[in-house]
Structure 1
Amino acid sequence: MTIGLRSALLIANIAIVTAATAAANPQVAEPPLRAHLAYLADDLLEGRGTGQHGGRLTVRYLEAQVAALGLQPLRPGKFVQPVPITGIKTLADSKIMVQHGTSQWQWQYGEDVVLATAQPRAELKLDADMVFVGFGISAPEERWDDYKGVDVRGKIVLMLLNQPKATAGEPGRFGGESLSYYGRWDYKFEEAKRRGAAGVLVLHTDASASYPWRVPVAGYSNERFHVSEQGNLIEGWLHDNAATKLFAAAGLDLLQLRQQATARSFKPVPLQAKLQVKLHSEVRKFVEYNVLAMVPGTDPKLRHEAVVYSAHWDHLGIKAADDGGKAQIWHGAIDNASGAAALLAMAQAAVIKPAKRSQIFFWPCAEEEGLLGSMAFMHNPWWPHADMVANLNLDSMNFAGKTTDMGVPGAEYSNLRQSALKVAKNHQLQLLDVLPDPSGAYFRSDHFSFARFGIPAFRVGSPVFSSDGHFTFEHNHQDSLAKIKAFADHYHQPSDQYDPAWDLTGMQQQAQFTLDLGLEIANEPVRPRMLSETVHRAWMPATSPNTKVNDATRAPDMGLVE
């Protein structure tokens, strides 16, 4: 036998062993994945909107499917967790005025400003001083405090979007090239609430937001949703032209202040003006539902711990286009009927061969409205936080064929990247490098709700987000890559619809990788851990969950014989 032949046989044997290792786990099948995807994206479910009829149908479908698959409920006889939600819509007869000395002018809603209340009040009157607080960030680990020396209780704070940029001297400041949570508008709203502010206005520019003014206008023209009644009295966005006029009336140059705000020495600037609001809102309260089911673990000492797989079931439902016009269905086939369908297919496989730890399959509601369902679950957990060892999340999956690589963005915040490397090797895949995340995608999907409570959590798929174009495809790479990149034009648009011609082998591959990674974690004797140096104070929830590990929150007895 020649050396070349022996080498070829050795390589072949290694490939066979590696493939056999990956195949030892139960296999995710493509036909049920496709069937679930086609149904969840169908007109019948009307875009699976929060608080809409299509959403109720979706919950019933998921509930019936997990029961039929033989999964067990986390509560006796209950696969659905109620999530009380308040819907609030600002009405057109609301009035927003600015008082500066003896001068007064009105801000036109939709042209100068958009705002709403996060509290369930049909009528709200407010007369409050305004203060500019730079980026609105308080980050001790960065030695940064934009609120220094100023009491903002009862005031309206105006702030810039994003975060101070990294510098040559501090290339890692606030995440470097990536957007940290401090740069997110939701953090800014939370920090203002912690400090007792009456409200927040974020200053909009196309460049800082990376989207035009019509986007926040569309968002605030529709009903907005909340799970807590403790939000800010006022939350909204101010157009750059209106902001420039406001600052000029106080003798301030907004461009100069933007520059000053990039330094640690920045101090808040009172604007010597009051915001006077008479807000009329349409308020409704309803209950939405998370769907949860589990495959109990087999190890008497580990089955009280669980790996949680998640994929939100909701999309935008029936609504008008961003530029107005007739209401239509926003199907959300990729975002996120794909993830919800994949989770069902994974659950079908998982029941065949349980792991040592339990496996929870979780379909959160209202992700599109601000991770409401997953945060509600974390504040009212049906499984103790201390016993959730990891969360693997699926959102907007690959529909263009198999790849030679896989991404796990956010795994670097824990020691789970090593586990992902092991699974990637078994699948003969390259694990994609950690890439900059300039849009803060990590903070915009349900895994972040788990990470905020110190649980290792991340999304499996592309290395940043769905249409980032970093996959390498096995076949027809350029054509497949073009399809993935083109999804950006359909993201959060009515055109995100199911296509029977889609090659779902890549979606199946992604689901299998996620299940295998979950099984790797579930069968490991040592649980994973977060890397403390990666977690900023900003991640911690704005309010502490009122939960204790007692009979209501303890992992249920699965009735297994020890």
Structure 2
Amino acid sequence: MRVLPFLLATVSLLAQAAPPVPEGPLRAHLAFLADDLLEGRGTGQRGAELTVRYLETQLQALGLKPVQGTTYRQAVPLLGLRTLPERSILSFMGGGACATPAFGPAIVYGSGVARAEQAFDAPVVFAGFGIHSPSDRWDDFKGMDLTGKVLLVLVNEPAPTPEEPGRFEGPDLSYFGRWTYKFEEAARQGAAGILLVHTTPSASYGWPVVRNGWDAERFRLAKGPEGAPLEGWVTEDVARALVKQGGGDLDALRVAAQRRDFRPVPLDLRLKGTLASAVRTLDQFNVAGVIPGADPALKEEVVIYSAHWDHLGQGAAPAPDSHPGHEGDGIYNGAVDNASGCAALLAMAQTAVHTPARRSQMFLFVCGEEQGLLGSKAYAASPLWPLAKTAADLNLDSLNFVAPARDIGLPFGNRSTLGDLGAAVAKASGLAVASSRPDTAGGYFRSDHFSFVQAGVPALSVGGGRDYLGADPATLKAKAAAYGQRYHQVTDEYDPTWDLRGMLQQAQFTLDLGQAVANAPTKPTFKAAR
């Protein structure tokens, strides 16, 4: 891999960084996209259509071209599934007892198949971390026939050991630790269902985040593979009680699941009951506009800037004591996540349209990220631009609303030469690259760039810096950390007093990096197996 010539050939381009990304438009877009009028930009809700209409109108007004034909929209056919708790009941029978956890406070579940009514009478098996990975020499199933069984599974993956410090991806969570993988694997195993055991440390978020995602309608790609008939989560307390009811000990099973010789453990427990779902099909839309390249040959290639426009939408109002000051407010505005990324892309497009690069540049707003990267998966499966001619994807998700910083984030940039170019752009911009830290929450797999990586396109999500500029860095870090309490809550609202210099810094860097890629003689390449 000849990384040095790639950097040397582009270093002169860094001096030609894009003009400044304007704050006024970024702030205006952010305020509008996070406004109550858009009702939280929920998939399949009225706010989604308003958002799509706004985005395509803005791209047209800025002078970007539709990528194909005359429309800025790419239809993404979805299957919508909403659990009907009032008509559903799941009980666990065994040990001479019957437990019926309450939907919402104790258990959440839905279906991975398009069936309005389902009945269950299935044995429950504790299946460790629910992982089958020959390349890692790990198999939690050991050949057991799991057809028709309900799996109780731990979140994340076995921890590294002194003997195996690089197990899976070492301190970084691999895709096998993601809940999406575990659902996919349960379906491949023919299981009747899968329930994940939630803890805040293992999931990296609290039970309210899980509940908010499952109280509402859930979506999957209409053209994608089916999931398991039952998919869901249980709280740790409920899991502990159920395992005990079934004759086991959750803590002992956790320890056993860390070993390679672990075998699935049938519990003296059966899940019985019914699951009722409201099922529908619908289209949601990715929105894309392109700035044609200026080079007669390289304009056939494209650099993509992406951000997801969806959030959680409008649902039930939170309990009065859960979010003081937001009583009666059932709107999940998603100001940071991810009105900020969309606003940045629009402001970047306003600058980029006046400074065409050699390659074409696409500004892509994807749907359904909160539902499992659905819009970006659909794009990768049916791209508007050939993937072989896509140089890179630079993704923005949840921008820095705190303050400007001395550094910029390039998480997992070392997986392709895109990271090397990013480091060069950062240096030319007077920025350091934020030091790497263990990705224990699996953030690499939770943003839309990952769909491009899976499709063979070098991609990364540009992160905000952490070394904040200001008189009181400790207070700024505390402000950033406090966002964890607003993540996926009704309190993620736009604040007009925000200092947007950090967002502008992140947007400017992303545009500068994108234009460096767009002007380089060769495309970025992967360094190692993805």
- Normalising by structure 1, we get a TM-score of 0.85
- Specify the alignment match of 2:77 in structure 1: 84
* Gap change, CA 1:474 and 1:275, over 3 Å in 2: same
Report the alpha carbon displacement of residue 169 of structure 1 after superposing the two structures with TM.
1.8
Q: Distance in 1 between matches of 2:314 and 2:515?
A: 38
- Specify the alignment match of 1:131 in structure 2: 125
Report the alpha carbon displacement of residue 101 of structure 1 after superposing the two structures with TM.
8.5
AA aligned opposite 2:375:
G
Q: Give the 3-state SS of the residue equivalent to 2:130 in structure 1.
A: coil
* Kept in 2: contact 1:96–1:108 (CA 8 A): no
- Specify the alignment match of 1:282 in structure 2: 278
- Specify the alignment match of 2:352 in structure 1: 350
- Specify the alignment match of 1:495 in structure 2: 491
AA aligned opposite 1:334:
V
- Specify the alignment match of 1:57 in structure 2: 50
AA aligned opposite 2:487:
Y
Q: Among residues 367, 370, 381, which one is paired with 2:369 in the alignment?
A: 367
- Specify the alignment match of 2:41 in structure 1: 48
Report the alpha carbon displacement of residue 285 of structure 1 after superposing the two structures with TM.
2.7
AA aligned opposite 1:433:
S
- Specify the alignment match of 1:379 in structure 2: 381
* Kept in 2: contact 1:214–1:322 (CA 8 A): no
* Gap change, CA 1:112 and 1:147, over 3 Å in 2: same
- Normalising by structure 2, we get a TM-score of 0.90
Report the alpha carbon displacement of residue 112 of structure 1 after superposing the two structures with TM.
4.6
AA aligned opposite 2:218:
R
Q: Distance in 2 between matches of 1:59 and 1:518?
A: 24
* Kept in 1: contact 2:464–2:502 (CA 8 A): no
* Gap change, CA 1:353 and 1:212, over 3 Å in 2: closer
Q: Among residues 341, 345, 353, which one is paired with 1:339 in the alignment?
A: 341
Residues 121-145 of structure 1 deviation map (CA, whole Å, 9 limit, x = unaligned): 2111232232221101122232111
5 Å-filtered alignment, 1:200-219, equals: 200-219=194-213
- Specify the alignment match of 1:549 in structure 2: none
Q: Among residues 146, 155, 176, which one is paired with 2:170 in the alignment?
A: 176
Q: Distance in 2 between matches of 1:487 and 1:101?
A: 43
Q: Give the 3-state SS of the residue equivalent to 1:114 in structure 2.
A: strand
Q: Distance in 1 between matches of 2:247 and 2:503?
A: 57
* Kept in 1: contact 2:97–2:245 (CA 8 A): no
Q: Distance in 2 between matches of 1:196 and 1:20?
A: 53
Report the alpha carbon displacement of residue 481 of structure 1 after superposing the two structures with TM.
3.6
Q: Distance in 2 between matches of 1:326 and 1:178?
A: 40
Q: Distance in 1 between matches of 2:506 and 2:212?
A: 33
Aligned positions, number: 511
- Specify the alignment match of 2:62 in structure 1: 69
AA aligned opposite 1:37:
L
- Specify the alignment match of 2:5 in structure 1: none
| Structure 2 unmatched ranges of 5 or more | 1-10, 321-326
AA aligned opposite 2:374:
L
Residues 339-366 of structure 1 deviation map (CA, whole Å, 9 limit, x = unaligned): 1011011111112122222211100112
Residues 484-530 of structure 1 deviation map (CA, whole Å, 9 limit, x = unaligned): 33333332222222222222222112111101101111122221122
Q: Distance in 2 between matches of 1:358 and 1:214?
A: 42
| More displaced 10-residue stretch of structure 1: 485-494 or 517-526 | 485-494
Q: Give the 3-state SS of the residue equivalent to 1:173 in structure 2.
A: coil
Residue 144 of structure 2 corresponds to residue 150 of structure 1: yes
Q: Among residues 24, 29, 32, which one is paired with 1:31 in the alignment?
A: 24
AA aligned opposite 1:291:
V
* Gap change, CA 1:200 and 1:214, over 3 Å in 2: same
Report the alpha carbon displacement of residue 220 of structure 1 after superposing the two structures with TM.
2.3
* Gap change, CA 1:506 and 1:149, over 3 Å in 2: same
* Gap change, CA 1:149 and 1:310, over 3 Å in 2: same
Residues 255-278 of structure 1 deviation map (CA, whole Å, 9 limit, x = unaligned): 222111100111122225432231
5 Å-filtered alignment, 1:471-510, equals: 471-473=467-469, 477-510=473-506
Q: Distance in 1 between matches of 2:472 and 2:205?
A: 32
- Specify the alignment match of 1:292 in structure 2: 288
Identity %: 50
Residues 131-179 of structure 1 deviation map (CA, whole Å, 9 limit, x = unaligned): 2211011222321111222122232222111111111122222222222
Q: Distance in 1 between matches of 2:379 and 2:24?
A: 31
* Kept in 2: contact 1:313–1:340 (CA 8 A): yes
Q: Distance in 2 between matches of 1:32 and 1:361?
A: 16
- Specify the alignment match of 1:187 in structure 2: 181
- Specify the alignment match of 2:520 in structure 1: 524
Q: Distance in 1 between matches of 2:96 and 2:400?
A: 59
| More displaced 10-residue stretch of structure 1: 180-189 or 487-496 | 487-496
Rg bigger for which structure?
1
| More displaced 10-residue stretch of structure 1: 92-101 or 359-368 | 92-101
Residues 54-73 of structure 1 deviation map (CA, whole Å, 9 limit, x = unaligned): 22111111101111111111
Q: Distance in 1 between matches of 2:314 and 2:382?
A: 29
- Specify the alignment match of 1:401 in structure 2: 403
- Specify the alignment match of 1:221 in structure 2: 215
* Kept in 1: contact 2:192–2:230 (CA 8 A): yes
* Kept in 1: contact 2:17–2:512 (CA 8 A): no
* Kept in 1: contact 2:78–2:221 (CA 8 A): yes
Report the alpha carbon displacement of residue 478 of structure 1 after superposing the two structures with TM.
4.4
* Gap change, CA 1:20 and 1:156, over 3 Å in 2: closer
Q: Distance in 1 between matches of 2:487 and 2:12?
A: 35
Report the alpha carbon displacement of residue 397 of structure 1 after superposing the two structures with TM.
1.1
Q: Distance in 1 between matches of 2:15 and 2:490?
A: 38
* Kept in 2: contact 1:402–1:475 (CA 8 A): no
| More displaced 10-residue stretch of structure 1: 197-206 or 476-485 | 476-485
RMSD across aligned positions (CA): 2.4
* Gap change, CA 1:500 and 1:290, over 3 Å in 2: same
* Gap change, CA 1:322 and 1:87, over 3 Å in 2: farther
* Gap change, CA 1:138 and 1:357, over 3 Å in 2: same
Q: Give the 3-state SS of the residue equivalent to 1:436 in structure 2.
A: coil
AA aligned opposite 1:263:
R
Q: Give the 3-state SS of the residue equivalent to 1:158 in structure 2.
A: strand
Q: Give the 3-state SS of the residue equivalent to 1:177 in structure 2.
A: coil
* Gap change, CA 1:20 and 1:475, over 3 Å in 2: farther
* Kept in 2: contact 1:73–1:294 (CA 8 A): yes
Residue 445 of structure 2 corresponds to residue 443 of structure 1: yes
Q: Distance in 1 between matches of 2:496 and 2:98?
A: 58
5 Å-filtered alignment, 1:4-23, equals: 21-22=14-15
AA aligned opposite 2:436:
V
Report the alpha carbon displacement of residue 90 of structure 1 after superposing the two structures with TM.
1.5
Residues 274-326 of structure 1 deviation map (CA, whole Å, 9 limit, x = unaligned): 32231111223322111011112223332222111011112222222454873
* Kept in 1: contact 2:187–2:227 (CA 8 A): yes
* Kept in 2: contact 1:462–1:471 (CA 8 A): no
* Kept in 1: contact 2:318–2:329 (CA 8 A): no
Q: Distance in 2 between matches of 1:396 and 1:491?
A: 10
* Kept in 1: contact 2:464–2:506 (CA 8 A): no
Report the alpha carbon displacement of residue 215 of structure 1 after superposing the two structures with TM.
4.1
- Specify the alignment match of 1:540 in structure 2: none
